[in-house]
Amino acid sequence: MDGSILSRPSPELWGGLECTVVRVNGTMRDQFQDTGHTDRICDLERVADLGIRTLRYPVGWERVAPDQPDELDWAWHDERLAELRRLGIRPILGLLHHGSGPAYTCLSDPAFPEKLAAYAARVARRYPWVNMWTPVNEPVTTARFSGLYAVWSPHRASERDFLRMLHHECRGVLLAMREIRKVNPGAMLMQTEDLGRTFGTPDVQEAVDYENGWRWLSFDLLLGRVDGAHPWRARLLAAAVPEAELDDYLVGDAVPLMLGLNHYATSERWLDHRKHLYPDALQGGDERYVDTEAVRVPMPEGTTGWLPRLREAWQRYPGVPMAVTEAHLGCTPDEQVRWLCEAHDAARQLQREGCDLRGVTVWSMLGAVDWCSLLAARRDRYEPGTFDVRGDAPRRTPLADAVESLAKRGRHEHEWLHQPGWWRREDRIHAFLRDVDWR
């Protein structure tokens, strides 16, 4: 990445506030409460002042109807959405962000899709002017941590549970969009998902292929691609997903759909059967291999990062509009600026190559709390974003200058950009792997 970014057509810079509501062992975590946004409507004006005109924002199911589906409290959301309209900010409305739903359902509930759709219908009637929707954020990621790794409610750990929960989420999206389009026929589905990839040694290639298979499942389902020839259809049927419901995706009415691509430094993984090379702290999980961040091993140049992952998605789904919907790094201010600018550069490069890539979203604008433990432990570990909310009022961080430059001018110039991010430097590699023969 050059220190001086040339002026050229750029993707629009969008914004997003970390808005997860998730149950962990019976306790609800709400990031709007943890970051204080619940009590600060003025945060939205701070976002607008940076030049942000599109914002991922929730009308959260667990917030509006937490106890009974017919007991809805719209007051807080009415006020916030009215403020977004006043500020000229277009919302991308989310309904469920990593959660399992309110107390009267969960991801393993066979009626989950219909319950979500009924809620979506009410939200659409309440806000008929909203044109962009994300009924369920990152279905694969949420199903993994709820159904495969047992971190979030309902705390299951099997392929069967994972696939059934994923289907419930995606069917919920499908049914929700059908209800939303009864109110607004032109409503666009922005389907987000974590954009990662798994690499590994030849001895664990089967596990690598397995993980690289399920990472596309939410997109494939909603795009009507899981037909009789799809390699995961048999697994979904074996997990007791009804065949008639799988066939319902083939109708293809989830489109128009835009792919929302989220990517983190931890999204790409390396599986290594040579467990003796790694310290005890990295052992665990599967007995066959160690699972570590791919960025921590000496991968070939151009293998990891924003550009190869975005290009891979574009090649798999040519002609489908795309956007970067989460660009966030929990790190020092200089590294946060480098990460966002690298995401923006990669998006701009794909635009030049012909990809219909519409926006890049700076995520966690108010920061995030306890994501270092996936919200499983309450330690109050705060990482700032565009603003630092510690103190009497949120204050701008150096990332805010980059956000404002990209939003208003399509480019950002700073001496920090003359240096590579830590994920590009040699010292990123685990010290105990630097002398290993990788040939």
| pLDDT of the residue at 389 | 98
Answer whether 0.75 is exceeded by the pTM. Answer: yes
What is d(CA 279, CA 348) in angstroms, rounded to the nearest whole number? Answer: 40
Using 50, 70 and 90 to split pLDDT, how confident is the model at 436?
confident
Structural domains present in the chain: 12-433 (3.20.20.80)
Average pLDDT over residues 409-423: 94
Assign residue 4 a region (left: φ > 0; alpha: ψ between -120 and 50; beta: otherwise).
beta
- What is the per-residue pLDDT across 51-61, written as a single tens digit (0 to 9) for each? 999 999 999 99
- Give pLDDT, residue 284: 80
Q: Is the pLDDT of residue 6 over 50?
A: no
Helix (H) or strand (E) holding 307: helix 306-316
pLDDT interval class at 286 (50, 70, 90): confident
Token pair in block for residue 121: 């219908």
- What are the tokens at 12? 């629009």
Q: What pLDDT is recorded for position 8?
A: 41
How confident is the model at residue 439, as a pLDDT? Answer: 55
Name residue 232's amino acid: W
Say if residues 98 and 62 touch (Cβ distance below 8 Å). no
Cα(5)–Cα(413) distance, rounded to whole angstroms? 6
- Phi (first) and psi of residue 149, to 5 degrees: -110, -5
52's CB contacts (< 8 A; 6+ apart) are 13, 14, 15, 89, 362, 403, 407
pLDDT given for residue 210 in this prediction: 96
Of all residues in the chain, the percent with pLDDT exceeding 90 is 93
pLDDT the model gives residue 61: 98
Per-chain mean pLDDT for the chain: 95
Q: What is the mean pLDDT of residues 266-291?
A: 92
**pLDDT of 412 above 70:** yes
Cα 173 to Cα 37, 114, 164, 190, distances in angstroms: 27, 10, 14, 10
Mean pLDDT, rounded, for 176-184: 98
Q: Determine the pLDDT at residue 285.
A: 75
At residue 9, the pLDDT reads 58
Residue 176 φ/ψ, nearest 5 degrees: -65, -45
State the amino acid at position 79 in one-letter form.
Answer: E
Supply 131's token pair. Answer: 């044109």
284: left (phi over 0), alpha (psi -120 to 50) or beta: left
| Predicted pLDDT at 5 | 33
Smallest CA-to-CA distance from 135 within 104, 176, 81 is with 176
pLDDT for the residue numbered 2: 40
Residue 346 phi/psi, 5-degree rounding, is: -65, -40
Give the torsion through C-alpha atoms of 55, 61, 64, 70, to 10 deg.
140
- The pLDDT-based confidence of 3 (bands split at 50, 70, 90) is very low
Q: 154: cis peptide before it, omega within 30°?
A: yes
Q: In angstroms, what CA-CA distances link 123 with 18, 81, 310, 388?
A: 20, 12, 32, 31
pLDDT at 68 over 50: yes
pLDDT of residue 343: 97
* Separation CA 125–CA 140 (nearest Å): 28
How far CA 390 is from CA of 3, 366, 367, in Å, comes to 31, 10, 10
Q: Which residue has the tokens 């590699």?
A: 429
Dihedral angle over CA of 344, 370, 98, 135, nearest 10: -50
Peptide bond into 128 cis (omega under 30): no
